[in-house]
Amino acid sequence: MVRIIKLSNGETVEVECLSCEIVSGAVQPDGGVVVETEFFHAHQDVAYPIKGLVILASKRHFTTMDEMSEEEQLDYIHLLTRIRRAQREILGIENVYYFYNEDTTHHFHTWMVPRYKWMYEFGRSVESVRPVLLHARNHMNNKENVHEVKQAIQALQKALN
């Protein structure tokens, strides 16, 4: 099924699967690729301008944890850990919330959402994740913050490649 996607820069593109387009390089995620391996691809969705937020996506089409091959499992935990370590060492991120939902369209995605002090006013744990993301999207989408977010992506890229 072809979908029309509006990119954050205002352009629209027709895609079969947005993640496949990002993984293949046909669509450049704003801010760029953080790191990739044979099986996974990490990038930031700058629609949510939070410093150090990383989305780790499978290159292959599958949506549930138990569909990973042995090789993918090893690659996944290795890459997830490397990104996590870089978040700590480069950006000083002490805690991260991880979530993935298996009812996505095509690709297994893990969201790595850093915890910052301001987020605690939205509560703790899982109930705070959605309001935090919405707050970032609706109130932190300013030039200065987006610039900081992009600098953080570059710092992660440098550390991980």
Which positions touch Zn ion (CB under 5 A)?
A: 17, 19-20, 106
- SS3 assignment for 132-144: HHHHHHHHCCCHH
Q: Least distance in Å: CB of 54 to Zn ion?
A: 19
Cβ atoms of residues 63 and 108 within 8 Å: yes
Q: Least distance in Å: CB of 134 to Zn ion?
A: 26
Cβ proximity to Zn ion: between 24 and 69 the closer is: 24
Cβ proximity to Zn ion: between 60 and 88 the closer is: 60
Cβ proximity to Zn ion: between 40 and 119 the closer is: 40
Cβ proximity to Zn ion: between 104 and 157 the closer is: 104
Q: Least distance in Å: CB of 108 to Zn ion?
A: 11
Cβ atoms of residues 30 and 46 within 8 Å: yes
Q: Least distance in Å: CB of 114 to Zn ion?
A: 26
* Distance from C-alpha of 88 to C-alpha of 42, rounded to nearest angstrom: 16
Q: Which of 39, 77, 84, 37 is nearest to 58 (CA)?
A: 39
Query: In a 10 Å sphere around its CB, with 0-12 CB exposed, 13-18 middle and 19+ buried, how is residue 14 labelled?
Result: exposed
